[in-house]
Structure 1
Amino acid sequence: MREGGKKLRHLGLAAVVVCATSGFALAITGAQAQSNEMSLGQRNLACGSPTALDDGWVTASPESTGLDGARLCGIAARLKEMEADVHAVVIVRHGKLVFEQYFAGYDEPWGENGGRHEFDATTKHDLRSASKSLVSLLVGIAIDRKLIANADEPVVKFYPEFADVKSPGWDQITLRHLLTMSSGMQWDENRGWDDPKNDEPHLGNESDPIRYVLSKPVARPPDALWTYNGGSTNLLGSILERVSGKPLDAFARETLFQPLGITDFEWKNYPENKKIAPAAGLRLRPRDAAKIGQLVLDHGAWNGKQIVSADWIAQSVKPRFQAIGYFSGLFFYGQQWWLGRSIVDGSEVKWIAAMGSGGQRIFIVPERDLVVMTTSGLYFRTRQGDGALDMLTNVILPSVRDKN
C-alpha cells in the first residue's frame, strides 16, 4: 500500500504543529475549566469551527448535532501526543459539517519531494489507496448506467487483445474478484519498494501496466483467499475507461464529482508511463473527501439525489474477507472498502473506511450517523494510521451524546 511515494528519510521530524495562538490556548483552557468566561461560539471558532465555503456543505456547531464540542477541542493535543502528523480532521454529523481543523507538517505529495507543508480548508491532499474506494463507487455507477452488465462479468471479456498473455485461470476471474481482492493472481506488495519482486512499482514503471497485470499467473482459485492487490484496482480503472470511452478522471468528474459539487480535484498519473493511477493517484480537499463518506452513509445519495444505487453500496460494504497481513488482520474487506470496529464505553461500534498510505482515512459510522475524514504524512512508517483510529475511538466517538 505504498503507492509509489518516495521512501521517507526524515523519520525524526516533528509530527504535528499545533496552533499556538492565544485563541487556541483559551480554547483548550475552556475545554478543561468550567470557569472560563469565553462563550461557546468563541471556543468553537478557535478549535474547529468549519470555514464558510460555497461547496454544498451545511455547517453547524457540534452541540447542535449531539456532539460534545469541548471534548473535540482536545483533538489537537491528543494528535500531538500520538505524533500522528495529521494534516486535517473533518467531522460530519447528521449530514452537517461541524468540525474541521488543519495542521502544518511533513508531507510527500504525489510526484514531489517530501517537506513541510501548510494546509487549510482549500488545500488538496493525496488520498493514496483511499482512491480505490472511489473506483468501487465508479464501477457501481457504470453498472447503474448499463455500461457494465454486472460485477460478475469476466475480466478477460474487456481485453480480447491480450488473449496471448493471459495465464490459465484468468477466464474464471470476474470484476467482483478484483473488487474484493480475491482474484487468486500471484501478487505481492508486502516487500520493500526497491525489491524487484514487489509488484506495485511495476504499475508505474511498466510501459503497459495492464499487460503486466494480465500476464500474472493465477496461483489459486478465485474467491479463495484475500491478497492486497493494487493491480486489481488498475484493471478496474482501465475497464471503466474502456466502457465509458473517457479517461478515468473525466468519467469521475461527470458521474461522481460534479453531482457532489466537487470542482477541485486531481487524479495523478504514474510518473514513468503517464497512465492515470486508479489505485492511488486521487487528490481531494479533505472536506470534499468527506462528501464521499456522506454519500456512502446515505446509501449512495447526496442532497436527496441518488448518485450510485443503494444496492451497490450495500454490496460494497458487506464484509467478505478477513484482511490477513494488513493492520494485524483486525479489519475485514468488502469491495474496495475496509470494515472494522471500535470499543466505546464497553460497546462495539462498527465502521466502514477508505484507507490510504500515510494515514489517509475516511471513516463512516452508520450507527452514529457520523463521518470522519483525516489526512496525514506518515508514509512508510509503521502504525501510520494509529493516530486517526485513536482519535476516532477515544475522542470523537465518546463525544457523541445521542446514539442515533
Structure 2
Amino acid sequence: MRDRFPHLGILGASLVLALTVSATPVQADGVAPGPRNLACEPPSSIDDGWTTASPDSVGMDGAQLCGIAARLEQRATKVHSVVVARHGKLVFEQYFPGYDQPWGQPDGQHEFTATTKHDMRSASKSVVSLLVGIAIDRKLIAGVDEPVLKFFPDHQTVKQAGWEAITLRHLLTMSSGMKWDEARAWTDPSNDEPHLTFEADPIGYVLAKPVAAPPDTLWTYNGGGTELLGNILERVSGKPLEAFAREVLFQPLGIPDVEWKAYKNGKIAAAAGLRLRPRDAAKIGQLVLNRGQWNGQQIVSADWIAQSITPRFQAIGYFGGTLFYGYQWWMGRSLAGGKEIKWVAAFGWGGQRIFIVPELDLVMMTTAAQYGQPKEGLAAIDILSNIVIPSVRDAH
C-alpha cells in the first residue's frame, strides 16, 4: 500500500534526497560503534545463527563490496541496509541512518543497525508462500489445486460467479482472474487495496469481487489473494498467522525478533505487514537457496521451493515486463561481466528486496525508504548487478 499499508507499488521515478552514508558494522551487542570512515569489516557475530566470514574467504572481493556505501551516496538513494551472504556465511553488512515510514511508528529520521527491525512490506507475500508450503508438507492443506471456496463456507453468500474454479495455485500465482486494481492512487475509491485495511470483513470483500477472466489467463498484481492465503493458514492451523509463522518458520530459523502488523481493522496484514531484522530477512533467502534447509534442518520441502521459484507468468507492467512470477516469488536477471545471471527475489514496496542467486550461491538483502519514488527499488538492482555479483571471483 502506497502510504501506511504498502504493496509492491508502481515501479518508476527519480530517486531524491541524498543519504548521509556511514559504514556501521555493529558490535556484538548490536550497537553501532559510532562515526567511522568507509572502510568496512566482516560482519560481527551477534549469536543469531549466522556464521560470519570475510568476503575474500568465500571467493568475493571485499574491497569491491566496500564500495557500496560510496555508490549509494553517489546515486542519492535512501537505502537503510545491505546484507550479503555467500556459501551459507554472512560476509557483508552495512547500515545507514535516514528517513523512514515504519508501520505503526512516526515517520522521520531513524537509526538502523543489525538489531533493528524493518518493514518488509510486500516481501511478506513470499513468506506467506513458504508458510503455505509448510502447511501442505504437514498435510494441513491437501495441495495447491484445492478450491479456495472450500476454506470459506461462511462466505458462500458473497461469492460471485466463477469463484468455483479458483484454486490456491491461482492465488499464489496472482492469476485468479478476479477483478482487482491496486495500481491507482491510494485515495482513489477504485483502488481495491485500501479496502483491506478499513473493511470490517476484508476477506468477504475479496471473495465478493467479480471474476473478470478465467483463472490462469491473466496475471494481475493482487494483495487480496495473499490475504485469503493468510486467512486460510489461520483456519487450517487453528492459530493466528503470526503464531503459526513463529512456530513453523521463524523459530526453526532462529528468528525471535519478529512482528506481523495488523491493518486498522485489526486483521493481520498477510500481504504486507511483516517486520524483520535485515540479517533475519537474509535467512529467508538462504532458506530458499538451500532448497528449504537451514543449518541442516528441512523446514520446508525442496519440492515446494522448486515449485515456488518456477516461472509461471510474465509480470506485465513491472520493470518493463522483464520479470517472471512464481508462487509469490519474482524471477529476473542481471547483466554482469557480459553474462546474464538469473535470480529469484522477494520484493517489498520502498526498496525492500531479498535476492537469491543460485548460480553463485549468493543472497543479498536490502531495506530502504524509496516509497512512492519512480525508480523505487532500482538501487538494489544496481548494487546487485554492478557491485555484488561482479565481486564474485570464482565460478562456484
Shift of 1:13: 6.6
Greater per-residue helix proportion:
1
1:155-304 aligned within 5 A: 155-271=148-264, 273-304=265-296
Shift of 1:6: 8.3
Shift of 1:318: 0.3
1:61-140 aligned within 5 A: 61-140=54-133
Change in CA separation of 1:63 and 1:354 when aligned onto 2, cut-off 3 Å: same
2: distance between equivalents of 1:265 and 1:326? 29
Shift of 1:192: 0.3
Q: Deviations over 1:348-401 (max 9, x none)?
A: 100000000000000000000000000000111111101000000000000000
Contact kept? 1:127, 1:356, Cα under 8 Å: yes
Could you say which residue in structure 2 is the equivalent of 1:396? 388
Could you say which residue in structure 2 is the equivalent of 1:38? none
Q: Which AA in structure 2 matches 1:257?
A: F
Shift of 1:16: 1.9
Could you say which residue in structure 2 is the equivalent of 1:2? 2
2: distance between equivalents of 1:348 and 1:69? 22
Shift of 1:211: 0.2
2: distance between equivalents of 1:231 and 1:168? 18
2: distance between equivalents of 1:60 and 1:322? 37
What is the count of residue pairs matched by the alignment? 380
What secondary structure, in the 3-state scheme, does the structure 1 residue paired with 2:51 have? coil
Q: Which AA in structure 1 matches 2:20?
A: V
What secondary structure, in the 3-state scheme, does the structure 2 residue paired with 1:398 have? coil
Shift of 1:83: 1.8
Contact kept? 1:3, 1:128, Cα under 8 Å: no
Identical columns (%):
69
Contact kept? 1:180, 1:336, Cα under 8 Å: yes
Shift of 1:229: 0.1
Contact kept? 1:48, 1:101, Cα under 8 Å: no
Change in CA separation of 1:292 and 1:3 when aligned onto 2, cut-off 3 Å: farther
Q: Deviations over 1:192-240 (max 9, x none)?
A: 0000000000000101000000000000000001000000000000000
What secondary structure, in the 3-state scheme, does the structure 2 residue paired with 1:122 have? coil
2: distance between equivalents of 1:151 and 1:252? 19
Unpaired segments of 5 or more residues in structure 1?
Answer: 28-46
Could you say which residue in structure 2 is the equivalent of 1:312? 304
Match of 1:54 among 37, 47, 62: 47
Q: Give the aligned CA root-mean-square deviation in angstroms.
A: 1.6
What secondary structure, in the 3-state scheme, does the structure 1 residue paired with 2:52 have? coil
Unpaired segments of 5 or more residues in structure 2?
Answer: 8-13, 24-33
Change in CA separation of 1:73 and 1:220 when aligned onto 2, cut-off 3 Å: same
Match of 1:16 among 6, 15, 19: 19
Q: Which AA in structure 2 matches 1:284?
A: L
Q: Which AA in structure 1 matches 2:257?
A: D
What secondary structure, in the 3-state scheme, does the structure 1 residue paired with 2:126 have? helix
What secondary structure, in the 3-state scheme, does the structure 2 residue paired with 1:80 have? helix
Shift of 1:327: 2.3
Contact kept? 1:15, 1:106, Cα under 8 Å: no
Larger Rg: 1
Q: Does structure 1 residue 356 correspond to structure 2 residue 359?
A: no
1:331-346 aligned within 5 A: 331-346=323-338
Could you say which residue in structure 2 is the equivalent of 1:32? none
Shift of 1:15: 3.8
Q: Which AA in structure 1 matches 2:364?
A: V
